[in-house]
Structure 1
Amino acid sequence: MKSNVYWARLLASVALLLAGCTPLQVVTHRVSASESTVPVGRYALDPHHWHISFDVDHLHYSRFVIRFDRATAQLQWNARGMEDSTVRATIDAASVNTNVPLLDRMLKGQDMFDVARYPDIDFVSTEFVRTGNDRGALTGNLTIRGTTHPVTLNVIFNGHAVNPLIKQETLGFSADGHFSRAQFGLATWYPAVGDDVHVAIQAEFEKTGD
């Protein structure tokens, strides 16, 4: 029932947004791949258009995907584009979602994320090294369970434009990377569950200030 209410509200919101623009504006919408077109300023993660997941080896059969349902992020975009910009993201560890309720409770418990003591998973960028016109290696400090280690993400700048639905400057990114879960005190169930964690991210940011 709650799910039906959520989707009904979401569809109603989309209908209201669409009322503010023509179908032609949506169909012909284009984004710029040039970072130089992006206005300098503060941007926040679009609460409806993002995805963060961790996946790990499961008994060598497949990589089991764990997603998170709540997160926030702030981006400070500066004149030199990605090379001069910074990002900070916070994931609500209690929002972990595997589609298996029992496993969700285990992941939230003391043997894994221990969300009662460590409710947040944080990432704070420290360095960006360009590897192509629209991409680069973003290194930052990742904190899980109160333990911090550097992690590098491969980031792609997908583009920038004024979103035709909400009329705001919007940026899009894709990113992925790897880290050892044992470094953060998450060695439970090894080796049945692998140590290497693959992170996959899709994110849109909306301009919130200068």
Structure 2
Amino acid sequence: MAIDPQYAGNWMIDAAHSRIGFSTRHAMIARVRGAFNEVSGEVHLNPESFDQSTVRVVIRAASIDTREADRDNHIRSADFLDVEQFPEITFVSNSIDEISDENFIVAGELTIRGITRPVSVPLELLGIESDPSGALRAGLEGTRRIDRRDWGVTWNTPLDSGGMLVSDKITLEFELSLVKQQ
């Protein structure tokens, strides 16, 4: 399917108006949320079709923020993200599929801790609008659950009840504002 010519081209993630975050269970009873404060990326929409378009996202792993300094430092350590050795988390698409009006599946390769695995991310287009300065913006949202062990993030500790302190299942949360480049 051809892309509307006004939308074809290059779009950049507006980090000030975007959030890439996550949530998981702690001690099997509480939900902990966090986000990465340093995110960049671009989308190239090929005028011919979505399947010829590309997405690249780069997250600075050390920018993790769960609103708890000790927890953030532990997540930065070799027990979790090992930001000294692996400073970036990246996602590079290999396909974009429009599954229905304003709903897409972006499939690609997610790299965490130097381990690359395929991931498909469902995204909903919330709208496209011109802002007061005349820039064309697009808003997208979506979530995707992953198993952190697939990327070598295996640290945990058992609880007296028989469960584990940190869930292996992580929900990734995407709230993206893209700005079309002229």
TM surpasses 0.5:
yes
Residue 115 of structure 1 aligns to a residue in which SS?
coil
- The root-mean-square deviation of aligned C-alpha atoms, in Å, is 1.7
TM-score by length of 2: 0.88
What is the CA–CA distance in structure 2 between the aligned matches of 1:77 and 1:57, rounded to whole Å? 36
Number of residue pairs matched by the alignment? 174
Counterpart mapping for 1:151-162 below 5 A: 151-162=119-130
Query: Is 1:182 matched with 2:149?
Result: yes
Equivalent residue in structure 1 for 2:118, among 141, 147, 150: 150
Q: Do the aligned residues in 2 keep the contact of 1:36 with 1:81 (CA within 8 Å)?
A: no
Residue 150 of structure 2 aligns to a residue in which SS?
helix
- Counterpart residue number, 1:200: 173
Query: Is 1:131 matched with 2:92?
Result: no
After superposition, give the CA deviation of every residue in 1:24-44 in whole Å (9 maximum; x if it has no partner). xxxxxxxxxxx6364321111
What is the CA–CA distance in structure 2 between the aligned matches of 1:177 and 1:39, rounded to whole Å? 25
What is the CA–CA distance in structure 2 between the aligned matches of 1:36 and 1:100, rounded to whole Å? 44
Counterpart mapping for 1:31-42 below 5 A: 36=4, 38-42=6-10
Structure 1 gap ranges (5+): 1-34
Residue 102 of structure 1 aligns to a residue in which SS?
helix
The residue identity in structure 2 corresponding to 1:201 is F
What is the CA–CA distance in structure 1 between the aligned matches of 2:74 and 2:122, rounded to whole Å? 30
Equivalent residue in structure 2 for 1:52, among 3, 17, 20: 20
- Counterpart residue number, 2:161: none
Q: Do the aligned residues in 1 keep the contact of 2:82 with 2:113 (CA within 8 Å)?
A: yes
- Counterpart residue number, 1:104: 72
The residue identity in structure 1 corresponding to 2:95 is E
Counterpart mapping for 1:71-86 below 5 A: 71-80=39-48, 82-86=50-54
- Counterpart residue number, 1:19: none
Q: Cα distance 1:133–1:81, how it changes in 2: closer, same or farther (>3 A)?
A: farther
Q: Do the aligned residues in 1 keep the contact of 2:95 with 2:106 (CA within 8 Å)?
A: yes
Q: Whose radius of gyration is greater, 1 or 2?
A: 1
| Superposed structure 1 runs of 4+ greater than 3 Å apart | 80-84
Identity of aligned residues (%): 25
What is the CA–CA distance in structure 2 between the aligned matches of 1:186 and 1:149, rounded to whole Å? 13
Deviation at 1:176, TM superposition (A): 1.2
Query: Is 1:92 matched with 2:65?
Result: no
Equivalent residue in structure 2 for 1:116, among 72, 84, 88: 84
What is the CA–CA distance in structure 2 between the aligned matches of 1:201 and 1:112, rounded to whole Å? 21
